[in-house]
Amino acid sequence: MNKKINLNSNYIFIIIISLVSLLRIFIGNNLGLWFFINSIQDDLLLIDYSNLFNHFMNWNILSLTKDISYSLFLYVVNISNIPYTFYLSILWIVCGLLIVYAIYKFLNKNKLLLVLSFIFIVFLPIAFDSSSGTRVYRNAIMAPMIIIMLSMLFIFILNSLNDTDNKRLLILSILLGLIFTFNFYIKEDGILTLPILLVSIFALIVFHCYKFRSKINFKYLLILIIPILIFGVSTLAYKEVNMHYFGIDEINTRTDGELGEFWQILLKIDDNNKTNKIWVPFSTIEKAWNASPTLQSRPDLLEKWLHSTWANGNMVQNPIPGDHVSWSLRDSLNEAGLFNNEKQADDFFKKVNSELNTAFDNGSLNKSDKIFITSNANGKSINEILNLKPYISSGIKSCIFYKDITIESVPISDSSQVITNNNTKHTEKVLNEKLVTAEDLNKPTFAENLSLKLMKLDIKFYQIISYLVVVLSCISFIYSVFIQFKNNFKNRKINAIIGFEFLLLATFLLEIFAIGWFCSWIDINSGPMKFYTVACQGIFALFEVISICGAISIYKKNSNKNFTIRDYIFSIGKD
């Protein structure tokens, strides 16, 4: 009788998951895609990269300014002849299935809990936000890919603790390495996800060496580091491809290489004219020129840069804000005839950087005494760091309370919704589907109208329940730590779960802080934190699911009565 009930329960579970997945695909297919029509450094650039033959065979000054993972995703979409929105929906469904697998195998087999976790992940509001989910840009895959990567890491960690099947662990290790590498190169700040991988693998190695110090399994240790090896080999291969086609073994010459280092040196030069908004004023550039004979030999470059279109013709009168100076440099180099290829610019700035570093060493050029957390953003004083509070607060509210997540109901200016040209037609071919137009927004089909209503309802519902879920997840995390403390941390699986939850929180806060630091030159009212912290919503959602399910699992093991979710909720705080 019990077997029959369990069998029926499994069938019902599969049916519900399937129906939810179909609903997600239906809504996803009616997202209403768009992009900024003139964004040659953003949307259009990555769309152009997706034509891999053209990208590698026809170099231009923007060829190595952004990482390539999203363009590879577009390439796969294009050659498959399957709509882009279908792929996006599948990514979110894979997120949900990985979470369900992880919970079922390691935490709890309660079907209701599994269904709720699946629904919570696949309908995260960021997927429907106009600036991230529906815009044809890399933000659309950042949240689902970070969830997939971290879910794989979680599964890998718990399998490695008690799995004697090296073959299965090897497969997981290879998959994790490939997924991590792809995720790392979606955006130039992929370095922020590296600590959680390295710390997790290091902890597993230390645990194994301590537990089996008299009989260390070196084959097992090799399997543990395979994700790092795959990432390292893939990075070398990526650089080698760029070396073959572009003549330089760098991933990105806007932030790396000699040209990238020149930008980093400009950020470090001490200059009282620098502000939180103006990272590199023209006076800083003049200081660099005065310290470098190689730069002085090219007054035409200085003149081109001074009168850059990025500064409306005069950088003294109209300082270029934030990191836009690094973009304007490429244009000025090109206009001065110093950027006919990557090697030319790299060789030129190799001499320049050597001279500037010598100037730093001999004191003829002063370094800023401000604090730097990354070489590609400005330094800040203690007071300026404290002034990041509004940005950090905005990022947290956007990620955990879904503040400002919206679906635009009117056409977005300067976008493919209001302008049709060769770029929109080309993009539709790449995506294998039609972009939404102003006319479509004014006269939606029944399916589009229904999907729009469901998406708006979804966002509103998440905003309402967010406070309860955040509080419950934080209490669950504290509860889990407290119970393990009472038990002297004897259960290694629960220790690993708690440790992973802590790493998720740490990664979330690290990314929010780093992005807040970078975005502080942008007007906070324009919503920069929502746009740049897309992946953070995925990280915190994963923390919420794992912490709640993990605490329920702990409660079940420590309770002598029959378990229900209601019992857990009302028991919190009694221990």
Does residue 501 lie in a domain region? yes
The yes-or-no verdict on residue 213 having pLDDT over 90 is no
Q: What is the pLDDT of residue 163?
A: 59
pLDDT tier, 78 (very low <50, low <70, confident <90, very high otherwise): very high
Does residue 385 lie in a domain region? no
The yes-or-no verdict on residue 567 having pLDDT over 70 is no
Q: Which domain holds residue 316?
A: 257-362
Q: What is the pLDDT of residue 5?
A: 53
What is the mean pLDDT of the segment spanning 100-122? 92
Mark which of 313, 335, 362 sits at the end of a domain. Answer: 362
**181 and 292, same structural domain?**
no
**266 and 165, same structural domain?**
no
User: How large a percentage of the chain has pLDDT more than 90?
Assistant: 74
**239 and 263, same structural domain?**
no
Does residue 380 lie in a domain region? no
**270 and 198, same structural domain?**
no
Q: What is the pLDDT of residue 572?
A: 46
Does residue 570 lie in a domain region? no
Q: What is the pLDDT of residue 570?
A: 47
pLDDT digit string (tens) for 254-289?
Answer: 989 999 999 999 999 999 999 999 999 999 999 999
Name the domain count of the chain. Answer: 2
**468 and 333, same structural domain?**
no
pLDDT digit string (tens) for 302-338?
Answer: 999 999 999 999 999 999 999 999 999 999 999 999 9
The yes-or-no verdict on residue 62 having pLDDT over 60 is yes
**19 and 151, same structural domain?**
yes
Q: b/e string for 46-64 if b means 16 or more Cβ within 10 A?
A: bbbbbbeeebeeeeebbbb
**521 and 435, same structural domain?**
yes
In whole angstroms, what is the distance from residue 128 CA to residue 173 CA? 32
Mark which of 362, 385, 405 sits at the end of a domain. Answer: 362
Q: What is the pLDDT of residue 560?
A: 54
The yes-or-no verdict on residue 127 having pLDDT over 60 is yes
pLDDT digit string (tens) for 348-390?
Answer: 999 999 999 999 999 999 999 999 998 899 999 999 999 999 9
In whole angstroms, what is the distance from residue 573 CA to residue 575 CA? 6
**23 and 98, same structural domain?**
yes
- Reading the block at residue 536, the tokens are 């953070």
Average model confidence (pLDDT) for the chain? 90
**276 and 239, same structural domain?**
no
Total-model pTM:
0.93
The yes-or-no verdict on residue 87 having pLDDT over 90 is yes
In whole angstroms, what is the distance from residue 253 CA to residue 61 CA? 10
CA dihedral 458, 459, 464, 465 (to 10 degrees): 60
**304 and 436, same structural domain?**
no
Does residue 379 lie in a domain region? no
**553 and 469, same structural domain?**
yes
The yes-or-no verdict on residue 215 having pLDDT over 70 is yes
**90 and 22, same structural domain?**
yes
Specify the higher pLDDT residue, 211 or 512.
Answer: 512
In whole angstroms, what is the distance from residue 460 CA to residue 465 CA? 9
